[in-house]
Amino acid sequence: MSDFTIKVRRYQPESGDPAYYQAFDVELDPTLSVLDGLLQARDRDDGSLAVRCSCRAAICGSCGVKVNGQSTLACKTRLEDAQAIANKMAGDSLEGNAPIVIEPMGNMSVIKDLITDMESTHWEKFRRVTPWLIPDGAPPEREYIVSQEAMVDVTQAVACIQCGACVSACLSLEADPDFIGPAALAKAYRFVGDPRDGRTTERLFDLANDPHGIYDCTHCFSCVEACPKGVAPMDQIMRLRRIAGHDHEIDDLNNGRRHELAFAKNIERYGTLDESLLLQESYAPGVKAKLKPTPAAIKGLLSSLPTAVRGIRTGKMRSLKKLIPGIHPKLPGDSQKRVRAIYAHSEAHREELNLYVLGEDE
């Protein structure tokens, strides 16, 4: 048995008072969970403390909260681990133990204490991606026959328990509340990757062209870190981008595919990045390229000009080589040839190693 102090963010809308933090002392085995701590505080000190939970075994996905700022399941976080992080974040000057801070999930409105409104953020976005199978044509007389590899490919996305921890952690959602978000997009991959689904192209076209779709993910890994089931939603979003841009050649309105192709081409040509060329080609690839600039792309390019002018003024971009797209030093010796050979091989192969399937991840 050990003593812990948990500091819980309380909020009761009917009271008319603003949110406040309340500390509870709990006494539990350190290997027990933060949820056990919350339930003890509720039983011993304040029966009005609102927390949602059910299975207590990281299966039902009910007890999503933030522990020391990190979105997670309360039942899957040990008190001793939460204590170690609380102490670390408090810094070297700390004496004794810092309180374990428990808050409701982010990016959602709070109904009471630790209970958030999953409907208005999570479930609404979830429905946005048409989260059910739409097969082509009439169903077969008996079951669908699917290869095992094809289904193994979507098992990672299938593992989602809808707890909302990734939605809570998402940093794009903080900046853009309209972003479809990690949980819903991971679910979108679950159907894009399913060989029984007949609307793959339509799904991809929709998600690539929506300004709040797959190209609105800022690649911050917060959802990967938060997910208690190893779904790695961001990895699923990147797969959606790969499939939309490469396999389906969807030339989206967000410059997503253009940017990706411009970057890849840039390195094939020079080995290291020529930012000026990247900027230009992300918006408006050369006339020889198949892609033509859209009005949105031209607007994007023009809006970058003030930044470029400032860079020239401070000397950041004084060198001609940095200013003129396409005048960029190549790698020495035959290195550039080697890089091109790697491209020739990899673009033909496109092998993907899924560590989740391999069993390397959880």
Partner 1 sequence: MKLAYWPGCVSRGFTPELHGSMALVAAKMGIELVTLDRANCSGAGVIAEHNQELADCLNARTFALAQETGLAMMNICSTCQGAQSESQQRLDADDAYRAHINDVLAEEGISYEKGKHGWTNKNFLWLLVEDYGLDKLSAMVTRPLSGLRIGPFYGCYVLRPKKRLGYDDNPDRDVYLERVITALGGEVVEYDGARRCCGFPVITMNKQTSLRQAGTHVGDAIDAGADCLVTPCPLCHLNLDMQQPEAAKIVGRDLGLAVLHLPQLVGLALGFEPKQLGMAKHIAGTSQVIERLSGAAA
Taking the least distance from each CB to partner 1, the nearer of 163 and 262 is: 262
Q: Using CB under 8 A, which residues numbered 6 to 45 contact partner 1? A: none
Based on CB atoms, which residue is closest to partner 1, 4 or 356?
356
Among 1, 287, 320, 358, binds partner 1 (CB under 8 A): 358
The nearer residue to partner 1, 95 or 360, going by C-beta atoms, is 360
Number of residues located near partner 1, criterion CB under 8 A: 79
CB of 174 to partner 1, least distance (A): 7
- Which CB atom, from 45 or from 225, has the smaller least distance to partner 1? 225
- Nearer to partner 1 by Cβ, of 135 and 311: the residue is 311
The order of strands in the sheet holding 70-73 is 20-28, 2-10, 100-103, 64-67, 70-73
In the complex, least distance from residue 222 CB atom to partner 1, rounded to whole angstroms: 6
Q: Compute CA 247 distance to the chain's CA centroid, rounded to the nearest angstrom.
A: 22
**Min CB(43)–partner 1 separation in Å:** 32
**Residue 128 identity:** R
User: 22-30: which pairs have CB atoms within 8 A and are 24 or more residues apart?
Assistant: 22/46, 23/99, 27/1, 27/2, 27/3, 28/1, 28/2, 28/4, 28/79, 29/1, 29/2, 30/2, 30/4, 30/78, 30/79, 30/80, 30/83
Q: Shortest approach of partner 1 to residue 318 CB, angstroms?
A: 9
E strand or H helix that includes residue 340 = helix 335-349
Q: Is the Cβ of residue 41 or residue 183 nearer to partner 1 in the bound state?
A: 183
Query: Shortest approach of partner 1 to residue 90 CB, angstroms?
Result: 10
Site for partner 1, residues 245 to 274, rule: CB under 8 A: 245-246, 254-256, 259-261, 263-264, 267, 271-274
Could you tell me if residue 16 is left (phi over 0), alpha (psi between -120 and 50 degrees) or otherwise beta? left
Q: How many angstroms separate the CA atoms of 159 and 71, rounded?
A: 18
Are 161 and 229 spatial neighbours (Cβ–Cβ below 8 Å)? yes
By CB under 8 A, the residues from 77 to 106 that bind partner 1 are 84, 88-89, 91-92
In the range 294-353, which residues lie near partner 1 by CB under 8 A? 300, 303, 306-307, 310-311, 314-317, 319, 322, 331-333, 335, 338-339, 341-343, 345-347, 349-353
Nearest to 38 by CA among 73, 14, 71: 73
According to CB under 8 A, which one of 179, 186, 187, 250 is a site residue for partner 1?
179
DSSP 106-125: SSS-EEETTEE-TIIIIIHH
**DSSP string of 246-257, one letter each residue:** IIS----TTSHH
Shortest separation between residue 284's beta carbon and partner 1, angstroms: 11
Binding mask 200-239 for partner 1 (x = CB under 8 A): -----------xx--xxxxxxxx-xx------x-----x-
Listed in sequence order, the residues at least 6 apart from 218 whose beta carbon sits closer than 8 Å to its beta carbon are 171, 172, 175
Task: Give the nearer residue to partner 1 in terms of CB position, either 154 or 267.
Answer: 267
